[in-house]
Amino acid sequence: MTVIPIPKKPRAAFNPNRPVSSLLKTQVLHLREVEKLFPPAYRPEIYINTIKTEGEAAEYIRSVTQALHRLHREGAGERVGPIAASAERKPARKTRQKSKPKPKSKKLSKTGKKKKRS
């Protein structure tokens, strides 16, 4: 197997004092939407409008991710019962209503007027 060398990341790749980039701002906004779904006890108490540096953004992302993992661990056991129980029942079949037949349209002549019947 061929060994592929991976270069080390430069020291300047993460600077906790650098202003937040638009990518990080967008990630913080997405995580805020996820955080809104958390129970109040799991929400980190960080106001996202105060995040100005990469270090502050990293701290917020870390706290939301930890809360998400904790919620997943604690909620994993609860989901097993209802899912297994619902798989046993068959869904009720829906009956389709018969549609009414469409009335036939009257034929138009080449001029666009209705033909007179004799």
Give the mean model confidence (pLDDT) for residues 11-34.
92
What is the per-residue pLDDT for 66?
A: 94
| Chain segment 42-88, per-residue pLDDT in tens | 888 899 999 999 999 999 999 999 999 998 888 765 555 555 555 56
Judged on CB neighbours under 10 Å (0-12, 13-18, 19+), 60 is buried
| pLDDT value, residue 49 | 94
Average per-residue pLDDT for the chain: 82
Report the alpha-carbon distance of residue 4 to residue 105 in Å, rounded: 73
pLDDT of residue 23 exceeding 90: yes
* Secondary structure of 42-53 as H, E, C letters: HCCCCCHHHCCE
Mean pLDDT, residues 5-22: 89
pLDDT at residue 28, as a whole number: 95
